[in-house]
Amino acid sequence: MNPSPSPFAGVPPVCHPDPYAGQRWTFGFPGGLTAEVHTRGARLHGLWAPDRSGTLADIVLAPRDPARTATTARYFGATVGRYANRIAHGRFSLDAKPYQLTTQEDGHCLHGGTDGFDTRLWEAESVHTPECTGVLLRLRSPDGDQGFPGNLDVTVSCLIGRDGELAFTYRAVTDAATLVNLTNHAYFNLEGEGSGDILGHELAVHASHYTPVDDDLIPQGDHHPVSGTAFDLRRPLRIADALARPGAGGGYDHNFVLGPHGDEALRPAAVLYAPATGRRMEVLTTEPGLQVYTAGQFDGTVLGKSGTAYGAGAGIALETQHFPDSPNRPGDPSPVLRPGEEYRSRTVLRFGTD
């Protein structure tokens, strides 16, 4: 009888060329987390995690046709930048100089502009040690890219640890003052991609304040306390029940203020739990904010990997980041990076079961 594979022996990353995705990298640990990352967009295309009985399922949404990531599924799983989230009217000033960025249909700059990092082919190399396995991705964004100043060199590592964690580490340097705000835009369904909606999931967010927005999802005024509002998720709550509260509207697409910022210590941001499968995902980050998006605008246009059309609430995005439009909001943590400095950000997704 052959012994079962050791759970402490990670699988070295394997690379497969793909006509659209660039390269498809797969890596993970037998019986535990396994990921698929595409170099176009530095994109998390799949993530297999065990449920309470040990059965693996892919819990990340992605289109069946990878080419759809250029259109209706553009941000699914992608690394977005230079600036994640929105900059009002694509305008900001830096060191008293005004800048105009490329803008989308609503007249604002979203996730880096019309040709953001999600559209680019990143360079990649494998990382494999006794403790972790994964890929390191690199991109050069030239001066003037989408209107941003400075040449920016970016690295993103996506590593699975033998302890059941998926870690994203972002680094960047520049030769001129610029803005940097990077995140991963994966949509999760802990019952499995294509299994239905996430309304039965439970969500907790470690935030005492949130950011009110206007109809274009641009921040309005000061951050508000969550107490007594639809945004109070400090205790786990079934998402369907949370969205039934007055003021939740068509769902969440809001920034939650996680607390003090300024060091590199990981702090708890959120916990997502699926009672049906027992899967649990804890989000820890060095970032000051968390954008929670419950995909209320999904309309079945995107056909998922399993062949199921993604309807409203098919997944949830938990995007660790600086606050939306913070270049135009002096009281928010600054996203400015200057020559001689290094942008550093880290987010860890810690998986387990009940």
Catalytic annotation, residues:
185, 319
Structural tokens at position 16: 């497969």
Is the previous residue joined to 43 through a cis bond, with omega within 30 degrees of 0?
no
The one-letter amino acid code at 59 reads I
Q: If you ran DSSP here, which 8-state letter would residue 292 be given?
A: E
CA 126, CA 98: separation in Å to the nearest integer? 40
* Cα–Cα dist 22/173, whole Å: 25
Buried residues in 41-54 as b, exposed as e (16+ CB within 10 A):
bbbbbbbbbbbeee
In sequence order, the 6+-apart residues with CB closer than 8 A to the CB of 346 are: 167, 168, 169, 170, 264, 266, 285, 286
Q: Is the dihedral of CA 198, 74, 172, 149 positive or negative?
A: negative
Concatenating the DSSP letter of every residue in 79-99 gives EE-SB-SEEGGGEEEETTEEE
- Other beta carbons less than 10 A from residue 14's beta carbon: 11
Residue 160 structure tokens: 């699975």
Cβ proximity of 231 and 213 under 8 Å: no
Helix (H, G, I), strand (E, B) or coil at 44: strand
Of 77, 334, 342, the C-alpha closest to 193 is 77
CA distance 166 to 134: 9
Torsion of CA 104, 98, 215, 205, to 10 degrees: 100
